[in-house]
Amino acid sequence: MKEITFLALSDIHGKEDIAKFFIEWVKKQKHKFDFIIAAGDIGNPQKPGSFENIMSALASLGKPVYYVKGNWDVNTKCVSGARDLEESSPLTFGDIVIVGHGRSVKPLELPDAPVRVLVTHYPPFSIMDRGKKLDGPHQTLHSGLPEINYLIELYKPRVHIFGHSHSFGGVDLLVNGTLFINVARLDRTSRDGSYIGNYALITIREDGKVSVKWFFLNGIWKRCGNCGRVVHLPKEWTICRKCANRGELRYVRIEDKFSRIKLSVFDLKCKRTLLRKILKIPIKSIKDKTALEDFLDLIILREVSDELRRKHKYVISLPKDRVINFYGKRQNGLIIPFSEYLFSRRREILGDRLLALMEVFSLDKRVHVLWGVDELLLGTGKVLVISGEYVLFNARLIECNSSLTSILLAQGFRPLVYTLEVTTSYRSVSRAHATSDAITGIARLSSIENSSTNDVASEIIRALTASTPVNCNSSQNANVDANDPSKLPPVI
């Protein structure tokens, strides 16, 4: 295997002044490398032409530039000397294969090679992916994508280069044979406005081993005040990026048995199974069991939403603040924090419908309110109406409050409860409407192997479904009188 070195960077966000400074800095440092990898967010959609100008500047270093697009790279044009990895992957350099995913996460067929390098903009879910809630793809503090975890499970890369999560930029972490390298962000500045962005020189040696050297604009070599290593840092910094983030870089191996989990979702209004499926979980790239719970919560929401789309034209998942805005009473200038809504549960403040939802939210933060939205012919045109108001939650919550189902049904909500069960079976489970006897398991991993709790959850569902199933096949709006506004479902 021939040794190869490449310069990796990301997250310039259209700041052409920093890009120009970077070019001169690299020339001054006399770095030796074979090509450049840019892991997204190079341009700025509010600065037309910035992507192309920065790419041209990078290409002026005389080396090929390979890139993936980030969430800031919108309406970009081709640039001479720069290639979009998503359009040209996989690329082979001797015994090294490089594959890039920007907008698309559809897996590609890769040739056999001793070393595979994956390039994305987003991190994998839970690996160095802390971000701002509003900026996260799923409105969470995880800015990583589960789709990337599945790509890692498939490709088994030796190296994964990404950006996006600025908090962990300048850090590399070895997990289960993959070296994760977060190269965000080149446009970092100090308090006085000096450029202190980071980038990396990554070398894959002849024996397949990988080394990473971190550099900072305007940086100097110094000894880290914590680990004692000699590292390149901004002048005012005293410890390296890895030491600064060491409290959040701890990885706890998840047992192999959690790689396949049976998901069962039950509709308590219709008294039948909505969904049964074996979930394959990419446990080797998930940080710990807490992250696995968050991962499962996201996957369950996706699976249920996809299933509901078989019935509805659109399915909308409401963030918690929107739940309060839509179902709560107008407060006439009062400022009421979410915690008061959650724990006071005063009917005069919340109203009956929000009170019913808060009964569920008070037991578990992983509760989801979903709307099934359909078109309704009204007069000479069509309107969008909310034809189903679903509340998705863990079946274990019924153990805490056995009246949850009746409370929600009384307010017109449609409870969907789910259970999880560790399984070693590789056989797919059909989505036919099965009996309640087939539904076992619980949702929290801390109790997923607890057979006594497991039996309790199953008995609860059996009791709830002992009566004759309700026919829910017909549309909820089938008998709506469009001439009587009082009988119309909520209109969006």
Q: Which residue has the tokens 């309060």?
A: 324
Q: Which tokens belong to 60? A: 């002026």
Prior bond to 90 cis, omega within 30? Answer: yes
Residue 458 confidence (pLDDT): 56
- pLDDT of 172-231, one tens digit each? 999 999 999 999 999 999 999 999 999 999 999 999 999 999 999 999 999 999 999 999
Mean pLDDT for all residues in the chain: 86
Residue 331 confidence (pLDDT): 64
Q: Which of 35-49, 134-148, 422-436 has the lowest mean pLDDT?
A: 422-436
- Helix, strand or coil, per DSSP, at residue 281: coil
Q: Does the predicted model carry a pTM greater than 0.95?
A: no
Alpha carbons 69 and 83: distance in angstroms, whole number: 11
- Helix, strand or coil, per DSSP, at residue 79: coil
263-297 in b/e burial notation, b at 16+ Cβ within 10 A? Answer: bbbbbbbbbbbbbbbebebbbbbbbebebbbbbbb
Mean pLDDT confidence for 397-402: 91
Q: Tell me the pLDDT band of 386, cut-offs 50, 70 and 90.
A: very high
* Conformational region of residue 177, where left means phi above 0, alpha means psi within -120 to 50, and beta covers everything else: left
**Helices then strands, each counted (H, E), the chain:** 13, 20
Alpha carbons 339 and 335: distance in angstroms, whole number: 12
Q: Which of 111-115, 374-378, 486-490 has the lowest mean pLDDT?
A: 486-490
Alpha carbons 170 and 199: distance in angstroms, whole number: 7
- Percent pLDDT > 90 in the chain is 73
Mean pLDDT confidence for 332-346: 72
- Using alpha carbons only, give the angle 316, 415, 385 rounded to the nearest 5 degrees: 40
Sign of the dihedral defined by the CA atoms of residues 231, 234, 235, 240, in that order: negative
Alpha carbons 55 and 98: distance in angstroms, whole number: 19
Residue 421 confidence (pLDDT): 94
- pLDDT of 36-81, one tens digit each? 999 999 999 999 999 999 999 999 999 999 999 999 999 999 999 9
- pLDDT of 252-280, one tens digit each? 999 999 999 999 999 999 999 999 999 99
- Using alpha carbons only, give the angle 369, 375, 376 rounded to the nearest 5 degrees: 115
Q: Which tokens belong to 471? A: 């026919």
CB 98 within 8 A of CB 138: no
427-447 in b/e burial notation, b at 16+ Cβ within 10 A? Answer: eebeeeeeebeebbbbbbbee
Beta bridge partners, 234, equal 219
Structural domains in the chain, CATH included, are 4-248 (3.60.21.10), 256-487 (no CATH)
